[in-house]
Amino acid sequence: MRMLLLVLFFITTPLMAAEPVSKDEVLKVARETKTKIESISGYQFLLVKRELVDGKDTGYQYLDVKVRTEPLGIYVKFLKPAKYAGREALYYKDAQYGTDELVVRRGGTRMANMVLHITPESVLAMDGNRYPITHMNPKVLANELMTKIEKELAFPETELQAYRQAKLEGQPGTMYTMTHTEKKEGMECLRAEVMICHKLGVPIYFRVYDFEKRTVEYYGFLKMQLNPEFTPDEFDERNPEYGFAKEDGQN
């Protein structure tokens, strides 16, 4: 719980001064951030994730994530809660056929070592997730973030603020908040928050509330490393450090 409290602290503290900002500043920062993200060859981080999926709150989940952009490779391992702990997923492009491949190890407390090969947008892959695993591709994230910001800023009923001394796990940054003061058709959310890390120049926190004031999406990117030197084994299901090669019943 210590980590969770630190993730949320900079949002809840009443001592942090907010200041109004213009749409021009937000759009400028968004474009600069998009350019920065698109230049990344890969990243590694601890993801704190919470989503509203089919009207149900998933609760906070903690995942180790590795992403390589060329060729695209994504490895995810669930750390908690216990019912998902040990679950692994590996996405890669098949070099011979150019097809999407997703291998998943169930993890958790029942049939933990069951391994399946499925497609990224299949019903099984999407169970409990708002987005397919391929959305962790930096280029996809950059385009989606820019599209959402531009769409929501098109409404005049929008209040923009900045918290320029925000911190997430000791990382200083600026948190921008966008709140709609009146509900209009076409709006996707009541409020959105994004924090840009001063050191890295990329978002390390993102949260969206719906008009019922429920958290729809929450992502905290902790211990972020940009452009790490991955080995080919880190995106190979035969990696002995991963659990994909285990047969059900093994420890």
Length of the chain: 251
Beta strands in the chain (DSSP E): 19-20, 42-53, 56-57, 61-68, 73-80, 88-93, 100-105, 115-118, 158-168, 171-180, 191-197, 203-209, 215-226
* CA distances in angstroms from 60 to 18, 49, 248, listed in the order given: 27, 6, 27
Is a pLDDT exceeding 80 seen at residue 85?
A: yes
**Alpha-carbon distance 206 to 218, whole Å?**
6
Residue closest to 110 by CA, chosen among 248, 242, 244 = 248
Q: What is the mean pLDDT of residues 160-187?
A: 92
pLDDT digits (tens, 9 = 90+) for 12-45: 333 568 899 999 999 999 999 999 999 999 999 9
Domain chopping of the chain, boundaries:
17-235
CB burial of residue 42 (10 Å; 0-12, 13-18, 19+): buried
Contact yes or no for 49/219 (Cβ under 8 A): yes
Instruction: Determine what percent of the chain is predicted with pLDDT higher than 70.
Output: 88
| DSSP single-letter state for residue 148 | H
**Alpha-carbon distance 180 to 189, whole Å?**
8
Q: What tokens does 28 get?
A: 């400028």
17-235 fold: outer membrane lipoprotein receptor (LolB), chain A (2.50.20)
- What pLDDT is stored for residue 101 in this prediction? 86
- What pLDDT is stored for residue 111 in this prediction? 67
Q: What tokens does 107 get?
A: 């993890």
Is a pLDDT exceeding 80 seen at residue 108?
A: no
pLDDT digits (tens, 9 = 90+) for 130-143: 999 999 998 898 88
DSSP codes of every residue in 198-221: TTT-SEEEEEEE-TT--EEEEEEE
Beta strands 73-80; 61-68: pairing state:
antiparallel
Mean pLDDT taken over the chain: 88
